[in-house]
Amino acid sequence: MPRLSPTALLLALLLAPVAPTLAGNATADVQIASSAMLVVDASVHERDIVLYIARTANHAPIEGAGNVTAEIGGHPVPIAAHGATYVLSTRGLKGGPHALQVIVAHDGIHELLSGTVTLPKPPDRLAALEKHGYAAWWVLNIVVLLLAARLIMRRKKPTPKAS
C-alpha cells in the first residue's frame, strides 16, 4: 500500500467536506398516472426514472420490452425493460417538472397514461464552492505553494567547476 505524504493527507482531509455529494438517492415511489385498468408509479433518480406499471385490479405488473413507450415533454425517451420495471433515461433534460406520457400495450389495446414528473436539478459546483466561502481555493493555493517550496529546497546545488 503506498504511503501518503503528510501534504497529500492534509489536502485530502481539508477538501473532503467540499467534495460534492452524489445525488444517487431516489425519491420515493410516486403515482404518476392511473386509469381504470392501470397504475403507473415512478421513482426519480439523478439520471433516470424507474417506472412500475401494474394492473389496477390485481397489481400484476405489465412486463415486456415492447409493451411500453414513453415521451417526456413531447420528445421520445430511451426506455429499457428490466423485469417488472422500465428505466427511462433523462440525460440532457433540465431539472424541474416535465409532462410524462406513457403508452402501454396490454390486452390487445394501447393505453395512453399521462402525468407530471419532477426531475432533480443538477448539482451546481459553483454554489458548493460559494457555500464554503472559497475555502477550497485557498487550501489548494497554499498546498501548491508548499509543494513548490519543497521542490525548490530539494534542488541540488550546482557543484563549482575547477578551472
**What angle separates helix 6-15 from helix 135-154, to the nearest 10 degrees?**
170
Average pLDDT, the chain: 79
User: Residue 23 — pLDDT band, cuts 50, 70, 90?
Assistant: very low
pLDDT value of position 131 = 67
From CA 45, how far away is CA 47, in angstroms rounded? 6
The residue ranges of every structural domain in the chain are 6-18+132-154, 30-119
Dihedral of CA 142/147/148/150: which sign? positive
Three cell numbers, residue 47? 439520471
Distance of CA 141 to the CA centre of its chain: 30
From CA 67, how far away is CA 109, in angstroms rounded? 10
pLDDT tops 70 at residue 9 = no
pLDDT value of position 86 = 92
Q: Which residue has the higher pLDDT, 9 or 52?
A: 52
pLDDT tops 70 at residue 78 = yes
The CATH code of domain 30-119 reads 2.60.40
Residue 66, Cβ density class (10 Å: 0-12 exposed, 13-18 middle, ≥19 buried): exposed
pLDDT value of position 135 = 74
Q: Which residue has the higher pLDDT, 58 or 23?
A: 58
Three cell numbers, residue 101? 406520457
pLDDT value of position 52 = 92
